[in-house]
Chain A
Amino acid sequence: GQNIDQPTEMTATEGAIVQINCTYQTSGFNGLFWYQQHAGEAPTFLSYNVLDGLEEKGRFSSFLSRSKGYSYLLLKELQMKDSASYLCAAPAGTALIFGKGTTLSVSS
């Protein structure tokens, strides 16, 4: 089966850096996704990692360690608009199994 864990809530201030962790246990590994979901909106794709290491996309970076079953999303130069839920997800066949999401609150 699949099990994905991530912290429920995090808070940070504008301009700061925050790291959102995700640990997973999957039967067969096929990569890891990160999605962002603003309140009342649909989730939007942020990143997909299938190999170990850090992938950077502007202010957002995602890291994967397959041997440790661990990933994190790094958000730099935080802005108020980054307040959202961040969802870690792993493929299971053609489905995506999501963690329960981490709600990030950014304050000024």
Chain B
Amino acid sequence: KAGVTQTPRYLIKTRGQQVTLSCSPISGHRSVSWYQQTPGQGLQFLFEYFSETQRNKGNFPGRFSGRQFSNSRSEMNVSTLELGDSALYLCASSSGGGISYEQYFGPGTRLTVT
């Protein structure tokens, strides 16, 4: 079974631009979560989607948004990029809707904002 895939793996953008990251979950998984990882703050939850609906959202500004498609693939978008948005963005999928389900992480997208 293929794992979680994320594209692109690396990205360099300038301040003020916007960016879209993509995540393909493990086949059959309907829940997709997004996290931001930085050295100072660690892993922070952005949002979670299940069957195309956002079920949970972390404490991030409205510049961060996401969506999920009918095939469970998900995208996240960051508009008006700031230097502080430089981070590793991780996507994770899980099979069920319950909180005890193990999350499988993708390799991440390394975003650098200059």
Complex contact A94–B50 (CB within 8 A): yes
Q: Which residues of B contact A (CB under 8 A)?
A: 4, 31, 33, 35, 41-45, 48, 50, 55-56, 58, 90, 92, 97, 99-100, 102-108
Q: Given A94-B33, A94-B48, A96-B33: A43 and B102 within 8 A (CB)?
A: no
Q: How many residues of A contact B (CB 8 A)?
A: 23
Q: Which of B33, B50, B107 contacts A42 (CB 8 A)?
A: B107
Complex contact A42–B103 (CB within 8 A): no
How many Å from the CB of A71 to the closest CB on chain B?
Answer: 15
The answer, yes or no, to whether A100 is at the interface (CB within 8 Å) is yes
Q: Which of A41, A42, A91 contacts B99 (CB 8 A)?
A: A91
22 A-B residue pairings within 8 Å (CB atoms): A31-B100, A33-B102, A41-B107, A42-B108, A43-B105, A87-B42, A87-B43, A91-B100, A92-B56, A93-B99, A94-B55, A94-B97, A95-B45, A95-B48, A95-B56, A96-B35, A96-B103, A98-B35, A98-B43, A100-B41, A101-B42, A101-B43
Contacts of A58-108 to chain B: CB distance below 8 A: 87, 89, 91-101
Complex contact B102–A48 (CB within 8 A): yes
Which residues from B are CB-within-8-Å of A92? 45, 56
Q: A31-B99, A33-B102, A98-B43 are in contact. List 7 more A-B contacts (CB 8 A).
A: A31-B100, A42-B107, A42-B108, A93-B56, A94-B48, A94-B55, A95-B58
Complex contact A50–B100 (CB within 8 A): yes
Which residues from B are CB-within-8-Å of A45? 102-104
Which residues from A are CB-within-8-Å of B105? 42-44
The answer, yes or no, to whether A25 is at the interface (CB within 8 Å) is no
CA distance A36 to B75 in the complex (A): 25
Sorted nearest first, the 3 A-B pairs with minimum C-beta distance are A100-B42, A42-B105, A91-B99
